[in-house]
């Protein structure tokens, strides 16, 4: 953990190392001061610390929430696009290497796009289970752990809506990303949590 934090800092990321989900939530809340708009990338970690529920209850910023129940696919896509123009984008990372790289795979590409360019600030909630030795192990972790669990989650949601269960490990991995450094110092903040979170 120590080497990972040092390397993230050397690569231009901000890092907060916290003990548990309660501390992660309280730390994350600090980033919403004077924020007018917030984008959102798919993340079970954000939900697990209670941040998603908290954001949905706030009225002092505009949350482009593509997960709101009852919206159309057209509105869903529009909100994902608008999320790339926000003051703050909130998500997680599929893996973080000990060398301080962010490793991600995305279905539609909005989340990996936001990491590289667009939102003024990016906030990542990352559990200790996502730390890997190197980029290769990061993609192995995604293929063996994150992608199967996400495919299962998406198929379960589709089944609950009486829609076809079409998601596979292959067809949800369309956009690959490795962020080695933050070209704008401190644009991306990683809250590293000493608990297992997400996939």
The pLDDT score that the predictor gives to residue 134 is: 98
The pLDDT score that the predictor gives to residue 162 is: 87
Across the beta sheet with 14-18, the strand order is 14-18, 188-193, 121-127, 88-91, 37-40, 62-63
The pLDDT score that the predictor gives to residue 161 is: 81
The pLDDT score that the predictor gives to residue 45 is: 98
Closest CA to 88 of 25, 47, 41: 41
For the chain, the domains span 2-135+175-193
Alpha carbons 128 and 162: distance in angstroms, whole number: 36
For 2-135+175-193, CATH gives 3.40.50.10420
CA triplet 112, 87, 69: central angle to 5 degrees? 70
The pLDDT score that the predictor gives to residue 157 is: 85
The pLDDT score that the predictor gives to residue 17 is: 98
Alpha carbons 132 and 150: distance in angstroms, whole number: 19
Question: What single string gives the DSSP state of each residue in 110-169?
Answer: HHHHHHHSSSSEEEEEEEGGGEESSHHHHHHHIIIIIHHHHHHHHHHHHHHTT------T
pLDDT tens digits in sequence order for the chain, 199 residues long: 999 999 999 999 999 999 999 999 999 999 999 999 999 999 999 999 999 999 999 999 999 999 998 999 999 999 999 999 999 999 999 999 999 999 999 999 999 999 999 999 999 999 999 999 999 999 999 999 999 999 998 899 889 888 899 999 999 999 999 999 999 999 999 999 999 999 9
pTM: 0.95
């Amino acid at each position: 953990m120590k080497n990972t934090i040092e390397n993230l800092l050397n690569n231009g990321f901000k890092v907060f190392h916290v003990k548990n989900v309660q501390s992660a939530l309280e730390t994350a809340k600090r980033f919403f001061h004077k924020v007018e708009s917030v984008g959102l990338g798919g993340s079970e970690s954000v939900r697990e610390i209670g941040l998603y529920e908290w954001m949905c209850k706030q009225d002092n910023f505009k949350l482009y929430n593509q997960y709101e129940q009852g919206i159309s696919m057209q509105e869903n896509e529009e909100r994902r696009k608008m999320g790339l123009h926000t003051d703050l984008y909130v998500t997680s990372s599929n893996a973080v290497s000990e060398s301080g790289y962010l490793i991600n795979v995305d279905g539609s590409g909005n989340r990996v796009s936001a990491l590289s360019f667009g939102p003024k600030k990016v906030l990542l909630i990352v559990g200790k289970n996502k730390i890997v030795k190197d980029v290769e192990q990061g993609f192995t972790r995604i293929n063996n752990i994150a992608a199967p669990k996400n495919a299962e989650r998406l198929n379960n949601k589709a089944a609950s809506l009486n829609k076809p269960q079409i998601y596979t490990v292959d067809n949800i991995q369309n956009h690959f990303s490795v962020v080695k450094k933050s070209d704008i110092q401190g644009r991306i903040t990683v809250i590293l949590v000493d608990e297992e979170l997400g996939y």
